[in-house]
Copies of this chain bind each other. A is one copy, B any other.
């Protein structure tokens, strides 16, 4: 299936980014690999063929094409574009075809036309080997202007170079670019393959769960939706967590959903208020089972223009990730691990090292940069020193420093992170609870309160809960968390103990879930993959906004339609709410 996708996107225009070049070079390979049926791209519509599919094998055929005028040369040739590619159209010059000539010569660039004619061979010397349709051209008989285009604010092919604000404002023009076409089509295809794997190969049931739900206690990141009952609100859930567990209690056995989720984080770069996750839950499964499923899923849906994935993915305990990479999402495409060299300095007399080692849990750590002396310049060393000083009291310093060094080395020409390499990693054995930031005497869930404790640590739950490891697992790709899940608590008493005694939560708010666990809940577990982030890494896009058709700006605005927008007070009345306008500084001062 990826075969035609790569082919159609590989030829639209000059690619501007590395990823697209990768697609070009591997298009031939993926065409051979793919055995799936090529979809009919011209069924039900006015064209007989797409612009991009025409080859010498079509010579002599009468075709009707629909597309956009990409380019016109001396009123003799015209390049017509559709989503599938480009084709050269010969504008007739004889008197009898004056009206056709007029249409094709007068239509502005990016106008939409329909042409009918014959596929002919290009004259000798005029073939273009760089263009997939470069052996042929269309001898036009009739032409129809379907829609004329006004002067654009910029040229389509330069679009990626424009500011992102402009791209978001005219998103429908940005979507015509080869990159956006490729990204959205690849996303659609990968998700389709995932569905085939889950639904057709492994009997998963695609169940839609509600997005108008009840607010999670303390769910500060949940959008609220006023209802027509005074003071009563729905909220948009951050994930279908409760529903997927209830589906297991309901005996659905294997659930998945490409689920829309919502998180209100205010303005944060490269986050979206709504996002999509591949949401999965299974009964009678353990950690290994979920991991194998996901490995199979990604292997099956992996684009055929990339190297096939090797499974199983390696696995690393949380503690090791922290010690060796200084983060719970290590980028394992390169080494440069963090090494504890405290012992070497135990007996040193260097003051600041002694000072450090004398503190509780004081350590001396190092990252070895091979040939660093050769590649790094004095100002690089200086910037590393400054970076370390700036982040000194953050425990993630070493992890950040490792990535900073990698950036510096790559800036000096060392290839550390191969862009064609996809390095998956399971991070496991997370702590079940963490001390609360605002009050370290109290504990909060490291992930969520439904996560099951590690079987070998369960006895610690009642004595030293902070030492309990969980059955949570994260999937990391090239240093990015792209998924996470856990085996859940299926025992009502244990769940009650965790919520009530350990976390001091109001159990009444989750009484429906506790009750469900009492009525024959099977052991179960699951995972969610962040689709936007995954597609971003797969396509090599610089931002998740490049793999979403209509993303919001980092401030959460739709720059095209201007959402969010004002609403007249009378339209808020049915929802029994009114706006509390913040007093501006002036007014406030006057009131003092």
Binding site for B on A (CB under 8 A): 1, 4, 36-37, 39-41, 43-47, 66, 68, 82-83, 110-112, 114, 146-147, 149-150, 152, 170-176, 180-181, 184-185, 187-189, 191-192, 195, 199-203, 205-215, 220, 223-236, 242-243, 246-247, 249-254, 260, 262, 264, 266, 273-274, 276, 282-286, 289-290, 292-293, 490-491, 512, 516-523, 548-550, 552, 556, 558, 560-567, 571-582
Contact = CB atoms under 8 A, between A and B. Distances in A.
A205 B340 CA distance: 51
Given A45-B285, A149-B520, A564-B234, A550 B37 contact: no
A41 to B, nearest CB: 4
A152 B226 CA distance: 35
A293 B44 contact: yes
Contact of A214 (B181, B226, B565, B579): B565
A552 B210 contact: yes
Given A208-B549, A251-B83, A516-B172, A66 B214 contact: no
B566 A202 contact: no
A558 B233 CA distance: 12
9 contacts: A37-B200, A41-B253, A83-B253, A111-B520, A146-B490, A207-B549, A220-B574, A246-B550, A576-B579
B171 A266 contact: no
Given A112-B520, A233-B565, 6 more contacts: A45-B282, A147-B520, A172-B250, A176-B250, A211-B274, A230-B579
Contacts of A290: 44
A31 B532 CA distance: 39
B206 A46 contact: no
Contact of A518 (B150, B232, B522, B571): B150
Contact of A260 (B43, B211, B252): B211
B206 A191 contact: yes
A176 to B, nearest CB: 4
Contact of A242 (B176, B253, B561): B561
A195 B199 CA distance: 12
A573 B581 CA distance: 10
Contact of A209 (B211, B519, B549): B549
A210 B559 CA distance: 13
A509 to B, nearest CB: 9
Given A40-B201, A276-B208, A579-B576, A45 B214 contact: no
A565 B512 CA distance: 14
B147 A564 contact: no
A266 B228 contact: yes
A181 to B, nearest CB: 7
A549 B189 CA distance: 27
Contact of A561 (B185, B203, B214): B214
Contact of A252 (B175, B556, B566): B175
A107 B423 CA distance: 47
A206 B230 contact: no
Contacts of A209: 549-550
B558 A282 contact: no
Nearest to A112: B522
Contact of A250 (B150, B173, B233): B173
Nearest to A577: B577
A429 to B, nearest CB: 20
Given A44-B282, A200-B1, A274-B212, A224 B519 contact: no
Given A45-B282, A147-B521, A560 B512 contact: yes
Contact of A220 (B111, B175, B571): B571
A42 B134 CA distance: 52
Nearest to A291: B44
Nearest to A66: B284
A564 B550 CA distance: 29
A290 B169 CA distance: 30
B490 A229 contact: no
A98 B214 CA distance: 47
A490 B149 CA distance: 12
A290 B234 CA distance: 37
